Structure 1
Amino acid sequence: MQVITSTEMAALDANCEYYGLARIQLMENAGASLANIIKQKFPQGTPVTIFAGKGSNGGDAFVAARHLTGYNVQVFLLGRGDEIKTAGARWNFSILKKAGTPVIEITDSTQIPELDNDCVIIDAIFGTGIKGRLRPLESNAIDRINNCASKVVSVDVPSGLDPDTGDFEKAVRSNLTITFHKPKPALLRQELKTYTGELITAPIGIPLFFERLIGKGDLGRLATRKPESHKGDAGSMLIIGGGPYSGAPALCAMAALRCGVDLVHIAAPEAVSNIIASFSPNLIITALTGNHLNENDILLLKKMIPTVDVVVIGMGLGKHPETQSALQEIIPLCKKAVIDADGLYALDFQQKNYSNIIITPHSYEFNQITELKTPENLNTRMQVVTGFAEASDTTILLKGKADVIAKGSVAKINTTGTSSMTVGGTGDVLAGITAALFTTNDALLSACCAAFISGRAGEICHQKYGSGLTATDIIECIPEARNP
């Protein structure tokens, strides 16, 4: 059975809203589903007592209370109405009060009433967002519920239970848990059956396709800079690029800096190193030998690679046989790497393990390095890319009108971007964003968010410049795109 973690569910909620499916609609669907199941399980006229917290879990229960026509419903809010945290929950709480539903605000444990043994108790104190130790009010409410002989129905997860790990300080013992969209991992653990009781998964109208779409919610999963951070804590990277082309590594580096990485070093052939340095005083340049990367540069790069979190390889390097030979020796030394453009042709998927690598090909490059065609049909293309990602243990960001990102059996889709982004240099920008995120995040999340940020930055630029946007314009829009 497929599960969804609390972090994934929070991201999915945010993505639904980003793509037009409002949170308040999801809350309405959840509450209606909850009420319908209760109607199926318990006859009309049954007294229903709701214990609601101040979050969205409580909001689901407020909706259910409105739908439970013919039941004797009373609602106990643990806290004050003006402390309710989400707009949807506040909205539905106000509707309940206007509708005349008995609502009692409990601010002290002494106000928690004795409970009848012949009612249905709806536990909506905490949902998947539970954090930290229980406060006395919620702790005592859980005790009161557990000491009652009435049937208990928990909303999404039994209150107090960590939905991912199953850990708890104290948790509601439920007869029935109604979870939404997909089960949370802890709900399937047999040893927690005493707390979860019967498990029903209720749909709330989220299209399955939305689980594959990358959106604003995924950005919320990225590591954040801590107030006490020092130089380098937000990541360091080395770009091995340049040779026939000098602009590509500079674009990559500036994109990474705009995405928030602390330190970017560029190692480039001596013939172009000064040209690259002239692009910006923010760039740290190390000159290699000659006109192109070759075996004489390997010793220096072996010293530089261990000092950074991520190495980016490929942009502007060219395909000289000496360059490709040197790359085959360099790539296995990287703790993490992003491989793009000319660097892709040095990969040997038959002989090497690339589990620590993100590759960022477009369709032609993907075909050249894998001998696989990328079909026009999106679902078929996803199958091809996912199959290769799983077989090669590589993270793939296949660039296109809709980007396909795959790691193992997981595939995601990015739909941000514009046709104006066919301008030169946008791939270098994407590689820089990807590497910057990869310094402090896992490969799949980094590739997904990089595709979204790059495309969103392009959309912002398109609004300003139309089809005349440039790669440097996109770089300047990265901070805004990171915070949609």
Structure 2
Amino acid sequence: MFPFTFSKMRAVDSNCSHLGLIPLQLMENAGAAIAREIMSRIEYGKVVFVAGRGNNGGDAFVAARHLALDDAYDVRVLLLGHSERIRTDESKHNFSLLAYSAIREIKEIADSTELDNYQGLKDADIIVDGILGSGIKGAPREPESTAIDLINSSGKYVISIDSPSGYDPEGEGTVKSIRADMTITFHRMKQELGIAGCEIYTGKVKVVPIGVLRDAEEYVGRGDLMRLARRKQDAHKGNSGRILVIGGGAYYGAPALAAMSALRTGADIVTVAVPENVADTLASYSPDLIVVPLKGDRLSPGNIDVLEKLIVSHDVVVIGPGIGRDPATIKAVELLLPLCEKAVVDADALFDLTLPANGKGKFIVTPHAGEFSRLSGLTVPRTLEEKKKVVRDFSGDKKVTTILKGSIDVISDGQNTLLNSTGNAGMSVGGTGDVLAGVTGALFAVNAAIDAASCAVFINGAAGDLAFKEKGFGLLATDIIDRITDVISKVF
């Protein structure tokens, strides 16, 4: 299982939404859990919720509503900003319900001077921090900055929702943060809340369940794609990845499909190195490809000198599409992998491959069941749980990230294991694996191996599903390439 981060949690939230569990329900569950924690700490008293305009504030609004049902609690809500500027529909909805909840005070704070004059924090029994939550970068702005100062200097018991406001263990680091007595975080412990020394900000961390769907966590979804690196507005050519596809000789279509898929996924530059017997044909496939002819009609150790220079100038090598199983080719693969910092090893490059490979590179391997059995010496189990274990153990032992292709894809790096259910029977047509290799290579250039591999199978399968709706069992691998951008554009 993944060491959970706040970024992963946002992906899971999004996946829940796509599966039908609406964000409003998760917010309701989170707020109710906060209210229960407050009631377990004090039987009566004054509780002041200081809320921001995002979903963190929405959780606070729900908690305040639940708490106000009990007359033993004097509940007050401070919104930092104007209610018309609340940023999410869920938070707006829950703020509107406060008017019908018998809450003693609902105050909108226009600027920090109003906070300086507010006396309500001084006699509070508990202050709930629902200002910013996770995801802040740099110093908090006003009026949030003043609110943090006032809460920290109040001397009251402080509960932070999900993460102390202002706490940023990454990026620019924490500039100013709530110093909570307790942080209530949702679903799973977050990696950022377990960093040594962070307890000066978090206090005690308590994890509470909120009804997240298991499949939203275990299966790759659109939320996971949101975590991928995005092309920046000021990006230069090459910033989004330089991919080298080494293939061909036996076939020319396979490396062309992998290369075009990498381009459609967002790689800036794709170079295809193929034996000279197929180089001209492949170059005519698209003017977008840079084709480097290699001597001979098959990849061989004699090509190593040329390829070594190309490998150095590219971020990721995709090796295997269309290379065939000539003994000299298999030897060349063995010699090339130690030269790669990152490589996607596909198709016949997996044949007779010895793992772990020499060198310190990071590798993603993409076997189907037969290729996996040859690599591992094991029969692929029938049950999904057994498959997960076998793939996880293999990946950890061989120090690779594995995509075991099937009706349900299993992806693992030895520590984290994910599943993918996109795709259809029409994708049994030749070339779809080459498309996956290209998508994986493009993502691997700018993302971690497990993120690249898991999101690649989702994108490839989802593009195949779109193509299947139009072409049915007559779909071609090129139809999948044409729909890659449709899948990615729905996220970005």
Q: What CA distance in whole angstroms lies between the structure 1 residues aligned with 2:348 and 2:488?
A: 28
- In 2, distance between residues paired with 1:72 and 1:410? 45
3 and 234 in structure 1: CA distance in 2 versus 1, 3 angstrom threshold? closer
Corresponding residue number in structure 1 for 2:93? 91
- Does the aligned pair in 2 maintain the 1:164–1:184 contact within 8 Å? no
Q: Secondary structure at the match of 1:450?
A: helix
State yes or no: 1:388 paired with 2:391.
no
Task: Specify whether residues 328 and 371 from structure 1 end up closer, same or farther in structure 2 by C-alpha distance, changes over 3 A only.
Answer: same
CA distance in 2, matches of 1:382, 1:166: 37
Contact 1:355/1:395, CA 8 A, preserved across alignment = no
The 1:173/1:308 distance shift into structure 2, 3 A limit, reads closer
State how 1:165-184 maps to structure 2 within 5 Å. Answer: 167-184=173-190
8 Å Cα contact 2:159-2:180 kept in structure 1? yes
Q: Per the alignment, do residues 299 and 398 of structure 1 end up closer, same or farther by CA in structure 2, a change over 3 Å counting?
A: same
**Pairs within 5 Å for 1:149-188:** 149-162=155-168, 167-188=173-194
The CA distance in 1 between the partners of 2:157 and 2:340, in whole Å, is 57
Structure 2 residue 230 is matched with structure 1 residue 228: no
Indicate if the aligned counterparts of 1:4 and 1:185 stay in contact, CA closer than 8 A. Answer: yes
Amino acid at match of 2:371: E
Question: Counterpart in 2 of 1:60?
Answer: 59
Determine whether 1:433 maps to 2:439.
yes
Given the superposition, is the C-alpha separation of residues 377 and 189 from structure 1 closer, same or farther in structure 2, using an over 3 Å criterion?
A: same
Shift of 1:10: 1.6
1:227–1:170 CA distance, 2 compared to 1 (3 A): closer
Separation of aligned partners in 2, 1:279 and 1:39: 68
Q: Per the alignment, do residues 239 and 118 of structure 1 end up closer, same or farther by CA in structure 2, a change over 3 Å counting?
A: closer
2:79 pairs with 1:77: yes
Q: Report the Cα offset of residue 9 of structure 1.
A: 1.6
The match for 1:452 among 435, 455, 458 is 458
Contact kept? 1:238, 1:265, Cα under 8 Å:
yes
- Unpaired segments ≥5 residues, structure 1: none
Q: Does 1:37 align with 2:37?
A: yes
Give the letter for the 1:104 counterpart.
K
Q: How does 1:60-459 map to 2 (within 5 A)?
A: 60-68=59-67, 69-70=69-70, 71-101=73-103, 102-112=105-115, 113-114=118-119, 115-162=121-168, 167-189=173-195, 191-349=197-355, 352-353=358-359, 355-459=361-465
Contact 1:354 1:394 in 2 (8 A): no
- From the superposition, tell whether residues 291 and 51 of structure 1 become closer, same or farther in structure 2 (CA, over 3 Å): same
Counterpart Cα distance in 1 of 2:284 and 2:432: 20
User: Structure 1's 88 and 11: CA in aligned 2 closer, same or farther, altered over 3 A?
Assistant: same
- The ranges of structure 1 where at least 4 consecutive aligned residues each deviate by more than 6 angstroms after the TM superposition are none
The CA distance in 2 between the partners of 1:204 and 1:427, in whole Å, is 38
Alignment check: 8 A CA contact 2:16 2:213 kept = no
Give the direction of change, closer, same or farther, for the CA distance of 1:370–1:353 in structure 2 (3 Å limit): farther
Report if the CA contact (8 A) 1:166-1:186 is conserved: no
Deviations 1:409-446 (A, max 9, x none): 11111111111111111000000100111112221111
Q: Deviations over 1:433-482 (max 9, x none)?
A: 00111112221111111111001101111111122111000000000111
Alpha-carbon distance in 2 for matches of 1:189, 1:47: 32
Residues 1:470 and 2:479 are matched in the alignment: no
Deviation of 1:235 after TM superposition, in Å, equals 1.3
SS in 2 for 1:322: helix
**Do the aligned partners of 1:160 and 1:169 also contact (CA within 8 Å) in 2?**
yes
Residues 119 and 55 of structure 1: CA distance in aligned 2, closer, same or farther (over 3 Å): same
Partner-residue secondary structure (3-state), 2:143: helix
Amino acid at match of 1:111: E
> Tell me, what secondary structure is at the counterpart of 1:117?
coil
CA distance in 1, matches of 2:461, 2:154: 54
* Further displaced range: 3-12 or 58-67: 3-12
Query: Counterpart of 2:109 in structure 1: which amino acid?
Result: I
Unaligned runs of 5+ in 2: none
Q: Tell me: CA distance 1:400–1:353, structure 2 relative to 1, closer, same or farther (3 Å).
A: farther
Distance 1:286 1:175 in 2: 62
Q: 1:346 to 1:297 in 2, by over 3 A?
A: farther
The one-letter amino acid of 1:304's match is L
Whether the 8 Å CA contact 2:422–2:461 is kept in 1: the answer is yes
Q: Hey, what's the Cα distance between the residues in 2 that align with 1:119 and 1:132?
A: 30
What is the one-letter code of the residue matched to 2:47? V
The aligned residue for residue 28 of structure 2 is: 28
Q: 1: CA distance between counterparts of 2:50 and 2:243?
A: 51
- C-alpha distance in structure 2 between counterparts of 1:301 and 1:189, whole Å: 43
| CA distance in 1: counterparts of 2:436 and 2:210, whole angstroms | 35
Q: Write out per-residue CA displacement over residues 8-50 of structure 1, whole angstroms, 9 at most, x where no aligned residue.
A: 2222222221222221111111001111111222114x22111
CA contact (8 A) 2:338 2:361 kept: no
Conserved in 2, the CA contact under 8 Å of 1:163 and 1:185? no
CA–CA distance in structure 1, aligned partners of residues 343 and 201 of structure 2: 45
Q: TM-score, normalised by structure 2?
A: 0.93
1:18 aligned residue = 18
2:232 and 2:171 mapped to 1: Cα distance? 25
**What is the RMSD of the two structures over their aligned residues, measured on CA atoms?**
2.0
Report deviation, 1:229.
Answer: 2.3
AA aligned to 2:179 is R
Percent identity between the two aligned chains: 46
- Do the aligned partners of 2:463 and 2:480 also contact (CA within 8 Å) in 1? yes
Q: Tell me: CA distance 1:94–1:163, structure 2 relative to 1, closer, same or farther (3 Å).
A: farther
SS in 2 for 1:251: helix
Any idea what SS the aligned residue of 1:477 has?
helix
Measured in 1, the distance between the counterparts of 2:401 and 2:330 equals 21
Offset at residue 100 of structure 1 (A)? 5.0
1:140: how far off? 1.4
